[in-house]
Each structure stands twice: as structure tokens, then as C-alpha cells.
Structure 1
Amino acid sequence: MMPFLRNHWRSISFRLTLNYGILAILTTLILIAFLYYEVIGALRTEYTRQITASAKRLSAAYEEGGRTALAAALELTLADRIDSGREIYLLLDEKGNKIAGNLDRPPAAHDSYVGVFEGEVLQDGIPTRGHLQIQTLAGGETLVVGHDLSEMGDISAMIWQAIVAAFVLAALLVIIGTYIFRGELAYRVSHIRRTTQQIAAGQLSKRVSTAESDDEFALLNRDINSMLDRIELLMKSARHISDTIAHNLRTPLTRIVGGLRAAQQPSASPQQVLQANQRAVEEIERLSVMLEKLLQISEMQAGIQRRSFKACELHTIVGDVVEMYTTLAEDKNVSMTLTHSEPVNVHGDANLLASALANLVDNAVKYASREIRVAVFRSGQSGRVVISDDGPGVPADQYEHLGKHFYRLDPSLEGHGLGLTSVLSIVELHGGTIVFSDAQPGLSVILTLPVNSRG
């Protein structure tokens, strides 16, 4: 039995339901106890009222007709058989002898009681407990008026039976409800556990089954599936990046090793050795630049550089970048125009934002035929920078690939394919977005950043 209970006690759903059920039982018992004391109190008040009223009525009869009238009133009251079995009456003369009533004798030490009290009396030879009032009449007679407690005892017994029955029923319902709730929760959680176990075993494509409802578990399952989709995408991206890095490292390293081995040949001249060393140095420097960019991108994606954020003037950064690249554009017979500059304040790193904008403008200068247009303005709670050129543009089906690690639209051009990746990482670090569109002709890049709420 103990292992059985221990196994269930380990279940959080079992403990939660059990604790909730115990709380419900205690609340019910407190409510019943409150009702019990309220009912008993109401009965005591009603008995006191009835006893006081009867005592006044009998005292009035005594005042009108004396002892004889009072005795007749008592006999008449006991003869009407209306609660006569529970009513208590006794009339004693000045010497303590019984004149009328249904008591054998008054309670002990009755002279010391004042008002309505609870006491023991002897009725038809049977000890009885009741609410009593004793008063001394003008002629020295003693009048006892009361009501026995049998009715109150019956009501108390009935209430206690209800309490016990409610407790037993509540306990059964709690036990049954605990097992039902535990089973239901275990059933709903089992889908999640089964999926996580399959994923832990390497089946990353597995997903938690979702229902059409919008209850808490359905929403949780959808959130878990969204998280798993994101994890799978990141895993595929990481795998692709690692494969691409391996490829980009293998090729230059192969060239370096081949050149150095050729320089080691006895027939190699000093000039050939020097050239091999120079090419090896250039290749290593290019690899160093690539690895440095990858490290910078990973740091931005991890959010490490967010700690240096402060208020920045986006329009000033854009103006400085445009001014810096105007001369380079003119050398290629391309005009660069800042068509609109509206004050926009953002929260971020000015150097990173300048680097991202410089990368975008540099690409526009590379591909533009005659004109580059740049604009910065505020739209609602966002600041936007639009960079458009009139170059050959990019096919619409390639937009989704722009910004991927090592992706190059034209592999024949120099570079590692990390420029736009760095730009996207900077923009995501600042909580912004980039959208590519057809400028007809050319490419239009729309960079959107949230404005500084304090500026």
C-alpha cells in the first residue's frame, strides 16, 4: 500500500487536486459549523422569547384571578396538547408544595437563578434538561416556566449527521476527483513527454499533436511546436553554417598548404618561396577577417553588444554615411541623393548602425547604374531608412536568401557573403526589420527600427 501511495504522491497533479479537495472540505465544514451555531443560537433566542411570553401571560392570569386562576391556566395549557410534551410548567405554593404543572420538582437551588437559564429538572420521574425561568409571585408562590431541549438535541443530531455525511461524501468526491484529474492531466502531458523523448533521441521533426480547442494545453502544445520549429530551423542553419565554414576554410587552407609545399621543393627559387609566403599571408589574413566577422555576428545574435545601447540620432548617422560614400559614388559616375531627412531618435549602438547602413550603401554603390536615393523618416512608432538604386536588382525569389551566411548572388565577386548577414544581425539586435523590394529598376531596401520611447 505504501509504494502505491508513494507513487501517487510523486504526481504534482495528485497533490494539487488533493490539497484543493482538502481545502474545499475544510471550507465546507467551517460553513456547516457556522450554520450550526447560527441555528442553535436562533433556537435559543426563540425558546427565550416563548418562555418570557408564557411567563408574562401566566403572571397576568395570576394578577387577575389569583392562585386558582393561574392553576386553571396551567391545566388548560397542558391539556391543549400543543407542544405539551416539551413545555415545562410548575406552580408551587409558598411552602414549596406542588399545586399544578408537569414537573415533579423544581431544579436544585432554584432561588439563585435569574432570567432564563439552562438546568436539570425531573419530569414524570425522568431527568430532563431544559431552558427555564423561575419567578416568585406576589403571594409567595413559585412559578417555573420552561421548554425542554429535546427538540434542540434532535436538530443538533441532524446537523451533526449532515456534517458527517457531507464530510464522507466530500472525501469520496475528492478521492475520485483526484484520480480523474490526475489521469486527465497525465494523458495530456503524456503527448508532450512522448514527443520530447523522441526529440531527445534525435527525431527533431517530431511535433506535439494539437487539438482544435483553445484550452491551456492546446495553447501550450502550439507554443512548444513553435519552439521546436525554431530550434529545428536553428539546427539546420547551424549545420549549414558549419558545413559552409568548413568549405570556406578547406579551400584557402588547401591553397596555402599547396603553395608552401611547392616552395619547399629543392628546385624552388627564392623568388618563388617569397611569393608562396606572400600568398599564404594574404590567405590567412582573409581567413582572419572572415572569422572575425563570424565572431561579431555571433556576438550580435547573442545580444552581447546590447549593453552599450544609448540614444542615437538615426538621421545624423544616415547623413554621415551618405556623405562618406558620395565621393566613392561620384568616382563611379553615380549620383547619391539624400531625398528626405526627418529627425528620428532610436535606442542602440551608433557604430553598429553606421556599419549596417554603410554596408547597404556600399552594395548600392557597387550595383547602381546612375542614381542612388536615400531617405530617412518617421512612421508612427518606427523610424525608416529607404535605400534605392537603379542597378540590375535581385530576382524576387532570391529575397529570402539575402542575409544568409556565405550567400552571394554573384559567386564570381570577391567577398565571403557575410556582409548582409552582419546587417541583419545588427538590425535584429536593435529590434528592427529589413524588407527588400523591386525599385523598378534596381533594388530598394527598407530598414525599420523602433523609435526611442524616451526621445
Structure 2
Amino acid sequence: MSALRQAFALTLVFLGVLLATGLLADVSIRANLNQTIDNELLDKFDQIKTDLSRGATYQSIAGSYQSESEHFSVDEFISFKSDTGKIYGYPIPDLYGETGFINLAPYYFHEDEEDEESGEHVESETSWRAYVGRVPGGTLVVGASLRTRNQLLNTLPYAFLFSGGVMMLITLGGGLWFGWRAQRRLSKITHALDQIAAGDLTTRIAPQDCKDDLDILSVKLDDTTQRLATTLQQVRDLSVNIAHDLKTPLTRLRAQLEQTQEQNLKGISDAEGVAAALRKTDELLEVFDALLRISRIQSGERKKQFQQLQLDTLANEVAEIYQAVIEETGRSFSLEINEATTINADRVLLIQALANLIENALRHTPQDAQVTLFVSGNTLGLRDNGPGIPVEFYPRVLEPMFRMEKSRSTPGAGLGLALVKAIADLHQAELILSAPASGSGLSIEFVFAKEQTGAN
């Protein structure tokens, strides 16, 4: 259902609710008015009964409500018939034998009212409400005109129709305007999604200011499109890098195999050539194996092997394994631990990640460099004082197969830090690259989320 049809349907629902509310209000107002009139009649009856018990005469009480004339000109009356048969006030023969509340038709009285058009006095069609009851010495009838009540009740439908009509027009107009506005924005989103589906990932639909849910949805769609574009670009870059990294060793392998074949044709055994070919084959297999490891880690299967792990214990274990290896290269090694926490993690993968970082440090730092493994709260990391990495390359070096050295002549396939990034994502840890406080070198930190940590 379009937004316009929804707005129209909601307007019809509002109209139905308004009509139902009007009917309920009419019933409630009628009941309240009738109850108010009955209460006033009862109060008047009790007041007159009290006055009579205090010595007031029927003549004085009746005279205060109406004149001796034949026609009524007031909105209330009383009538009293004594036990001896004498009547005071306006005579109503049919009522003296009744008890309780009674509705009286207009013909009970000769009441005059002024015609609004001609100005002449005409006989009124106003009905009355009366209460009949016993008082000392006779029967008392107290009555009240229903003119004001009837006028109010006759006005109510018109008031409801007018106010309801105005509200309906305002609601319909507002609903259609909002519906048209929402439909236009939804159409824009739909068109953008069609463009994205057609391959145009540069399409953006979010406004500058977020004001409602549709704006938030637009922002989310733009974020998703941006991430999709980034992912596709990474896939393209990965494909190009894989092609470059595989083409060179495959070309060398082919050349080595051709040389070995020529030697064999000459009857010369080339064991060294075969060994070189095997080494190149192993290098290719290592690349594919690293890619498969990254893929398996990104699938999340290793989360089943998570267990409680103390960061200081992990750091000590890695230091015990790699300190000697680092120092044998002439570099210095130190371990810093400050208020370590416990995390829910895969021990083997974290050791693998730290091993990759140490290998990178050994590969890219001078022999007199300082390598430091550190733990601080929920942070685990490695830093060195080597040449470091330019800040603009921080995001790129975490991508698979990315290498800053464009000639790609040095050992390695650019998968070490990509594997570290995959392990960090698996643990919902933020991987932060920065320069140490000394200003040179590189610091790589795992910052584990709170839900992954616990007090130690």
C-alpha cells in the first residue's frame, strides 16, 4: 500500500472514530443533562417539603413560582393538592395520583413563546419534566421546562458536524500532504536502490539533517552502499594483487621447470632445479593456505573454541616463546603489563596474531630496534621504534595482499596483517595502528570490547 493510500485510509479511520465519539458524547451529554434536571427537581421538592414543615403556606410557595394567569411564563412550576381536594398552583389533575419522575407533553400547559420571525406570541411546544411525591397534608408536583435542554441537544449535532467536518478536512489535507511527502521520499529511495542494483554504488540518498525514521533509513542505506562499494573495491584490489603475486612465482616456476626439462633431455640430473621448483610450489601453497585461514576465521567458526583467557598470562607465554628469537637478531625485547583483564577468546589465534606482528617487526625494523609486547587493561599490543608506516597507509596495510613495495620483489604476500585484522574482527576487538609516543615506529593494539572482557 502506498503512503498516499495509507494516509487516505487513516483519514477514513479517523472519521469513523470521530463519528463514534460524537455518538457516545451525545448519549453521555443527554444522560448527564437528564440526571442534572432530576437532581434539581429532587432538591426543589425537598426544599419545599422542608419549608412546609417549618410553617410556610402553600399559597406563598405556589405564588413565588407563577402568577394567577392562565398562561405559563416561567421555566419551572409547582402544584399542590391537599388531602381535602384543594389545589394550589397550576392544576394538573392527571398527576396527583402518580409518584416519581414523569415526562409531560407540551399540551399540559398553555405556555407562550415569541416567534423569532414574526415576533408574535405562539403556543410553545416545550416539554416538561416533573416529580410527584407526598408531603404533609397532600401531594406535591415540582416541574421544570426542558426548553434549554432541548435547545442544547438540538445544537449538538450541528456543532459535532461542523467541528468534525473541519477536523476531517484538516486531517485529510495533512494526511495527504504527509503521505505525498513520504511517498516522494520512498520513491527516491526505491529509485536509488534500483540504481545500486544496476551497479551504480556512488548513489547516495541521505539528507544533510536526519529528522525522522526515513532519514535514518536513508543514512543506513548510504552506509551499507558505502561498505559494499569498499568491499567490492577490496575484492578488485585483492584479485589484482593475487594475480601479481601468483604470476611472478608461477613464471619463475615455469622457467625453472623448463631448465630442468632441458637438463633431463641432455641426460643431466638437475636435483637442485627440482628442489627450487618445489620451494616455489610451497610458496604458492603458503599463499593459498593463508587465504583459506583468513576465510575460515572470517566465517566465525572458531568462536566455538573461545574460552576465558587472562591477557597477562597470554603475554607471558608469547614472551617466553619469542624473546630469545628476537634477541638473537640483535634487537631488544621488553614486556609491559598493567592491570590485565580476562577476555573470552581463542588462545591459538591470538598467539598466531602476535607471532605475525613480531615477524613483521623483525622484517621491517633495523637490528638495534626495540620491540615491546604490552598489556594494559583490555588492550593487547606490540610496538617498535623502527621506520613505521605512513599514516595514510594504515587502513590499506590491513587489506589482504596489499604491499607498500610496488615491485613486489621482497618475500611475503601481504597477508600477515590481514590475518591479524581477521582475528581482531572475530574477537570483536578494535585494531588500532598508531605511532608510539616517541614519534617513530609502529604500535598495533587489540582493544577488546567490554562484552568480551571480565574483571581479573
TM range (shorter): 0.7 to 0.9
Q: Distance in 1 between matches of 2:296 and 2:332?
A: 36
Deviation for aligned residue 1:354: 0.6
Partner of 2:36: 45
Gaps of 5+ in 1: 1-9
Equivalent residue runs for 1:24-173 within 5 Å: 26=17, 29-30=20-21, 33-34=24-25, 37=28, 40-42=31-33, 44-50=35-41, 52-53=43-44, 56-57=47-48, 60=51, 70=59, 73-75=61-63, 77-79=65-67, 84-92=73-81, 100-101=89-90, 103=92, 105-107=93-95, 111-114=97-100, 116-118=101-103, 122-124=107-109, 129-136=127-134, 142-173=139-170
Q: What amino acid does structure 1 have at the position aligned with 2:97?
A: D
Question: Relative to 1, partners in 2 of residues 1:429 and 1:271: Cα closer, same or farther, differing over 3 Å?
Answer: farther
Contact 1:318 1:357 (8 Å CA) reproduced: no
Contact 1:314 1:343 (8 Å CA) reproduced: yes
Equivalent residue runs for 1:390-401 within 5 Å: 391-401=386-396
Give the fraction of aligned pairs with identical amino acids, expressed as a percent. 21
Q: Distance in 2 between matches of 1:181 and 1:137?
A: 67
Deviation for aligned residue 1:113: 1.7
- 1:403 counterpart = 2:388: no
Contact 2:383 2:444 (8 Å CA) reproduced: yes
Q: What amino acid does structure 1 have at the position aligned with 2:17?
A: L
TM-score, normalising length from structure 2? 0.79
Q: Which has the higher contact order (CA 8 A, sep 6+)?
A: 2
Question: Relative to 1, partners in 2 of residues 1:188 and 1:398: Cα closer, same or farther, differing over 3 Å?
Answer: closer
Question: Relative to 1, partners in 2 of residues 1:249 and 1:65: Cα closer, same or farther, differing over 3 Å?
Answer: closer
Q: Distance in 1 between matches of 2:439 and 2:158?
A: 90
Q: Distance in 1 between matches of 2:68 and 2:361?
A: 114
Question: Relative to 1, partners in 2 of residues 1:132 and 1:398: Cα closer, same or farther, differing over 3 Å?
Answer: closer
Partner of 1:453: 454
The more displaced of 76-85 and 299-308 is 76-85
TM-score, normalising length from structure 1? 0.79
- 1:336 counterpart = 2:336: no
- 1:369 counterpart = 2:355: no
Q: Distance in 1 between matches of 2:158 and 2:304?
A: 69
Q: What amino acid does structure 2 have at the position aligned with 1:182?
A: G
Equivalent residue runs for 1:222-233 within 5 Å: 222-233=219-230
The more displaced of 47-56 and 287-296 is 47-56
1:22 counterpart (7, 13, 19):
13
Question: Relative to 1, partners in 2 of residues 1:45 and 1:342: Cα closer, same or farther, differing over 3 Å?
Answer: closer
Q: Distance in 1 between matches of 2:7 and 2:37?
A: 45
Q: Distance in 2 between matches of 1:139 and 1:395?
A: 115
Q: Deviation string for 1:305-361 (max 9, x for gaps)?
A: 333222212222222222222332343233323255653422211111111111111
Gaps of 5+ in 2: 111-123
Contact 2:41 2:142 (8 Å CA) reproduced: no
Deviation for aligned residue 1:289: 1.7
Partner of 1:6: none
Q: Distance in 2 between matches of 1:440 and 1:127?
A: 104
- 1:388 counterpart = 2:375: no
Please give the secondary structure, in 1, of the residue aligned with 2:174: helix
1:432 counterpart (420, 430, 433):
430
Q: What amino acid does structure 1 have at the position aligned with 2:383?
A: I
Partner of 2:349: 352
Deviation for aligned residue 1:185: 0.8
Alpha-carbon RMSD: 3.9
